[in-house]
Structure 1
Amino acid sequence: MSDSEKRVDNIETVRNHPEEAYESKLSSETIARVLKNRRRRAICRVLANGSNVTTLDELVDALMEQEANATGTETERDRELLSIRLHHVHLPLLEDIGLIAYEHRCGTVRYWGHSEIENFLN
């Protein structure tokens, strides 16, 4: 088995066993990168204060509600753009660092949690 095949197997093993919750070790630079972005802070806040599993649509609803409360406006175009940004930018980044598992085919987001990030948000 080649090194690349082993790496793929390890990724699949982790994703196939979501019940094995753990707190990943994130560097202070990674935590700063996550929290630097307003949208990612909002995503983490919604996930930390909700259930551990949600859908992309539910996450979009929660974030749109927050923004509508702050700005007083919400359009269907805003909702569509937010969904696209979450799907292509923010959720993959949060998955890459081990904070969430994102199953893009069914739109499921599982939040693993991280105490340092949650302490900052509270």
Structure 2
Amino acid sequence: MARTGGHSGADRLLSELVSSPQRREVVWYLTDNGGSAGFEDIVDVIASDADRTMTAVRLHHVHLPKLRTAGAIEWDDERGEVRLTPRAHAAVDDVARSGLLGQCAGD
């Protein structure tokens, strides 16, 4: 039976992982660091000195909430901890096997 619309959870997760360079950077950074990192560490890696504040605001209000809603991360805002979910680890593996890894990591 064909799907009649909408995205499955896996489709949504993959879409969020590859649709934004900043979200890809977050996921690849977490992947490279054992699946977890502090919010400030993520900001340090993604932002240039000139746009650090704006990057932190966008991560906090846009990118991390989207990744959390998609099921890619667990985020403890009070403690400043971000962790990939098992679903995200599997999605990263799927993206790597599909050949999109170079496109995603290199943007």
With structure 1 as the length reference, what TM-score do the two structures score?
A: 0.62
Question: Alpha-carbon deviation of 1:26?
Answer: 3.5
Aligned to 2:92: 117
Q: Deviations over 1:19-75 (max 9, x none)?
A: xxxxxx8433541243111111111111111122211100111113xxx5xxxxx32
The offset of 1:106, in angstroms, is: 1.7
2:78 paired residue among 86, 96, 105: 105
1:49 matched to 2:29? The reply is no
Residues 116 and 110 of structure 1: CA distance in aligned 2, closer, same or farther (over 3 Å): closer
Change (3 A) 1:61 1:116: same
**Which structure: larger Rg?**
1
Aligned to 2:66: 93
| Residue in 2 that maps onto 1:37 | 20
- Where structure 1 has 5 or more consecutive residues not aligned to the other structure, the ranges are 1-24, 69-73
Q: Which region of structure 1 is more displaced relative to structure 2, 105-114 or 92-101?
A: 105-114
**Shift, 1:101, TM fit:** 0.5
Residue ranges of structure 2 left out of the alignment (5+ in a row): 1-7, 103-107
Tell me the secondary structure at the aligned position of residue 71 of structure 2: coil
CA distance in 1, matches of 2:71, 2:11: 14
Superposed, which structure 2 residues align to 1:58-77 within 5 Å? 58-64=41-47, 68=48, 74-75=49-50
Write the deviation string for residues 53-102 of structure 1: whole angstroms up to 9, x where unpaired: 211100111113xxx5xxxxx32xx1011011111111111111111101
Q: Matched residue pairs, number?
A: 88
User: Percent identity between the aligned chains?
Assistant: 26
Amino acid corresponding to residue 92 of structure 2 in structure 1: I
Q: Distance in 2 between matches of 1:33 and 1:49?
A: 19
